[in-house]
Amino acid sequence: MIMARLLGLFALIPTTLLLAVSFFVLFTIRKTEAQGLKAFGYVVSALLWAAALLVLSVGIYTLSTGRHPMMNIMEQMKCGPKQGMMMRGGPMSSMMPDKK
């Protein structure tokens, strides 16, 4: 349980990377003169900030509750050997080589 809470701290790494890229985008558009490119740069930096906010909020949620939102999805994907997607005749069976 405590390990799941500590996984929320790892959200700081992608958040920092997204904000660093946003800084370089803003730094670059300060030097450009084209208005269209400046507007595009501001949109890109706003999207990067939104993504950083999303990642940070998931990290805070994980720290506070000890549950990661993807854990529920991963638990739902766990099925028995007869129910999985890799089963013969399932949607992924055409991609899997035959075992003999």
- Structurally, the chain folds into a number of domains equal to 1
Rg over alpha carbons for the chain, rounded to the nearest Å, is 21
**Residue 34 in this model has a pLDDT that exceeds 60:** yes
**Inside any domain, residue 17:** yes
40 has pLDDT over 90: yes
Residue 85: inside a domain: no
| pLDDT of 45 higher than 80 | yes
Residue 65 confidence class, pLDDT cut points 50, 70, 90: confident
Q: Is residue 74 one of the residues assigned to a domain?
A: no
| Dihedral angle of Cα 19, 25, 27, 30, to the nearest 10 degrees | -140
Which of the pair, 42 or 100, is modelled with greater confidence? Answer: 42
Confirm whether 16 is domain-assigned: yes
pTM of the model: 0.67
Q: Which residue has the higher pLDDT, 2 or 9?
A: 9
Given a cut of 80, is residue 87 above it in pLDDT?
A: no
Judge whether 57 lies within some domain.
yes
Q: In angstroms, rounded to a whole number, what is the distance separating the alpha carbons of residues 98 and 78? A: 22
Structural domain range at position 57: 2-66
Residues found in the chain = 100
More confident residue, 69 or 26: 26
Q: Is residue 36 in a domain?
A: yes
The model's pLDDT over 15-27, given as tens digits with 9 standing for 90+, comes to 999 999 999 999 9
Side chain identity at 23, as an amino acid letter?
A: F
Asked if residue 61 is part of any domain, the answer here is: yes
